[in-house]
Amino acid sequence: DYELCEEWEHLYPVPREDLINLHREHLLHLLEMGDMEKALQLLQRIEDPGVCLAISEQSLDQHPNLAASHFLADYLTAHFYASLTAARRNEIQALYIGSKMLLTLPEVSRVNYFHLSSRPLLMLEQLLMNMKVDWVAVAVQTLHQLLAGQEIGITVEDIDSLLSKYAEKALNFPFTLKEKRS
């Protein structure tokens, strides 16, 4: 049905908003099906960059699944970086990094942290609070690789500070040791 609508679009004038809605729904359908190749082809077929940007941003704002969010954040950063405001750029890059972190977690556990995908530091803190030290190690390694040369409002120092804070808390004992007296 989407392909038929696309053919109609070439034959008859379609209002811009309807065109954006059609392509957004088609894109989300392809991404939900896991067909990233066809999704990319769809975006490449759209001639008007403004329409393509609107479709990509609106699709991302629909909060699709993890793989779709990762794909859209990557696509927007790669193709429309200069067209985005600084705040939106940081938001999309944070989502990209958060989704990349989620992909390092075991598949069954991703659903528990998906709501934090746009807030990587908060996700890292949640992992620390849940004592998922092995997962934190992989996530921190991924963060260090992704943050190299990027400015998204998160720095390596922020990560180190968070890790230090929880390392200090892990060493705090809520009671004092009493000496045994004979």
Mean pLDDT of 144-169: 77
pLDDT at residue number 150? 64
Sole residue written with tokens 């075991």: 106
Say which residue, 151 or 44, is predicted with more confidence.
44
Q: Which helix (H) or strand (E) holds 157?
A: helix 156-171
**178 band by pLDDT with thresholds 50, 70 and 90:** low
Q: Which of 135, 103, 66 minimizes the C-alpha distance to 125?
A: 135
Give the total residue count for the chain: 182
The answer to whether residue 100 scores a pLDDT higher than 60 is yes
DSSP letters, 84-139, are S-HHHHHHHHHHHHHHHHHHHS-GGGHHHHGGGTT-HHHHHHHHHHTT-HHHHHHH
- 168 pLDDT tier (thresholds 50, 70, 90): confident
Calculate the average pLDDT of the chain: 85
pLDDT band, residue 31 (cuts 50/70/90): very high
The domain ranges of the chain are 1-84, 86-172
pLDDT at 176 > cutoff 70: no
Distance (Å, whole) CA 108 – CA 113: 10
